[in-house]
Amino acid sequence: MKQVISDLPDDRYRRRRVFVRVDFNVPISNGQIREDYRLRCAIPTIEYLSQRGAIVILASHLGKPKGTVVPALSLKPVADRLREMLKVPGVKFAGAVVGEPVKHAVAAMKPGEVLLLENLRFERGEEANDPVLAKQLASLADLYVSDAFGTIHRPHASIYGAAQLFAERLAGFLVGKEIEVLSQVRDRPARPFRVVVGGIKIRDKLSALKALLPKADTVILGGGIAYTFLAAQGVATGDSPVEQDFIPWAKEMLTKYQQHILLPHDHVIARSAEKPDGIQIVHGTIPAGFKGLDIGRDASLAFAHELLRGTGTVFWNGPLGVYEVDEFADGTVDIARAMALAHWRGAFTVVGGGDTVAAVRKAEVWETEISHVSTGGGASLKFIGGEELPGITVLSETPQ
Ligand code: ADP
Ligand code: MG
């Protein structure tokens, strides 16, 4: 088990500089933060360190400036918001990622104070995991804390290269919790273990599907990816998004795990998601010229029934239809509500994925009605699939 910040004795933080990789990638327009959920989630880790007399250096990316300084993507508004939210002696903004002024700012800090660095991706070396940038980042602090689960699968300088240069590397509370919950789902799920996978790209879900198909009691497939499996069964799928490359694999899985796989047998179809004309519900085959854009009512009922069977565990990633368009959101909303019901009836429910979490919100299911909402889309799927995540691996590697 990786060490979490609370595993270290309190006095190990006193007057020590702690580099914390956080995820402050919040929506900002015209210099205003629209929604600060990710900042609120970081409070426990930051205040824990500050209260123990650490000098806290926070680093995050914001948007995609691609290695240049984009003023609209500055983290300055985030520093201002943190100053209002945190109960710490002081919050400073560095104005740059690395360099002399940053070094001076760090040297001037008192125990308990917090310094936010400028957007990491203003530096070209961040996404390239450049060793020079890694060294500069690591030279700012004595201890490394990883608390950005959403980017933990990316081998970037602040996630991997810099982390390798610290003798002490720990997980913050957010990452600690993600590792604990997702390992439990992956390695010892309470049964029955049901999995719902929707969304659009099989490749993104491949490792997770490969790991889950043999393990789960039921795998429910919906959304765009279901059509590749239906096509593999020989069902006519019209113009639905079928990934030809994966048909042989889908056939193999259907043969091997026939007992465990549930597919939708009715569909909400239209000519296109953008122009939802000619909407109809069909059972079985989809006519040429039409796409399956949501699961039908019978599929919703069957899937919900399965989720409510017993307690156990349910893991869900990927919307069951084009939930962004109201006409094709019903199936996903039904599943979100069934997830909430399963939770209240005692199941352990986990939801991951950017779009899936957005869909849960659209369904007006609250975060408190899901046992664990993962902050990592790609990262949670890769973790479940047993893939190596650089930002987690580095926490247990022996220092060089
Ligand atoms: P997450 O971000 O939660 O991991 P994905 O990105 O894999 O989820 O999938 C979300 C996308 O899948 C949404 O944009 C949704 O519109 C799309 N989608 C779901 N079902 C279908 C479908 N039947 N046809 C086309 N797109 C679909
Ligand atoms: Mg997505």
pLDDT per position as a tens digit, 58-86? 999 999 999 999 999 999 999 999 999 99
Give the ligand whose atoms come closest to the C-alpha of residue 380: 1
**Residue whose CA is at the smallest distance from ligand 1 atom 8:** 318
Of 167-176, 194-203, 262-271, 390-399, the range with the lowest mean pLDDT is 390-399
pTM (predicted TM-score): 0.92
Q: Which two three-digit tokens encode residue 156?
A: 């970037």
Q: Looking at residues 106-132, what average pLDDT do you find?
A: 98
Q: Looking at residues 213-218, what average pLDDT do you find?
A: 96
Catalytic residue among 201, 210, 256, 345: 201
Confidence (pLDDT) at 146: 98
378 is catalytic: yes
Distance 353 CA to ligand 2 centre (A): 6
Q: Are 301 and 259 in contact (CB under 8 A)?
A: no
Confidence (pLDDT) at 380: 92
Confidence (pLDDT) at 229: 98
Q: Looking at residues 274-281, what average pLDDT do you find?
A: 89
Q: Are 315 and 373 in contact (CB under 8 A)?
A: no
Q: Rounded to whole angstroms, how far apart are CA atoms 34 and 149?
A: 21
Neighbours of 183 (CB within 10 A): 13
Bridge pairing between strands 218-221 and 55-59:
unpaired
- The predicted-structure confidence for 159-177, as pLDDT tens digits, reads as follows 999 999 999 999 999 999 9
- The predicted-structure confidence for 238-258, as pLDDT tens digits, reads as follows 999 999 999 999 999 999 999
Q: Looking at residues 308-334, what average pLDDT do you find?
A: 97
- The predicted-structure confidence for 80-115, as pLDDT tens digits, reads as follows 999 999 999 999 999 999 999 999 999 999 999 999
Residues flanking ligand 1, CB < 6 Å? 198-200, 204, 223-224, 241, 292-293, 317-319, 321-324, 353-356, 377
Give the whole-number percent of the chain exceeding pLDDT 90.
94
Question: What's the pLDDT band for 148 if we cut at 50, 70, 90?
Answer: very high
- List Cβ<8 Å contacts ≥24 apart for 63-72: 63/25, 63/119, 63/121, 64/121, 65/119, 65/121, 65/122, 66/121, 66/127, 67/121, 67/122, 67/123, 67/124, 67/125, 67/126, 67/127, 68/122, 68/124, 69/122, 70/119, 70/122, 72/28, 72/31
Confidence (pLDDT) at 400: 62
In angstroms and rounded to an integer, the radius of gyration of the C-alpha atoms of the chain is 23
pLDDT at 265 over 90: yes
Q: Looking at residues 45-51, what average pLDDT do you find?
A: 98
**Residue whose CA is at the smallest distance from ligand 1 atom 15:** 322
Q: Rounded to whole angstroms, how far apart are CA atoms 386 and 5?
A: 24
The whole-chain average pLDDT of the chain stands at 96
Q: Report the residue among 322, 335, 351 best suited for mutation to probe ligand 1: largest number of ligand atoms under 8 A from its CB.
A: 322
Distance 315 CA to ligand 1 centre (A): 16
Q: Looking at residues 16-38, what average pLDDT do you find?
A: 94
**Residue whose CA is at the smallest distance from ligand 1 atom 4:** 353
- Residue 171: phi, psi to the nearest 5? -90, 140
Collapsed DSSP state (helix, strand, coil) of residue 331: helix
Question: What's the pLDDT band for 1 if we cut at 50, 70, 90?
Answer: low
Cα 321 to chain center, whole Å? 20
201 is catalytic: yes
Distance 186 CA to ligand 2 centre (A): 21
Q: Are 188 and 98 in contact (CB under 8 A)?
A: no
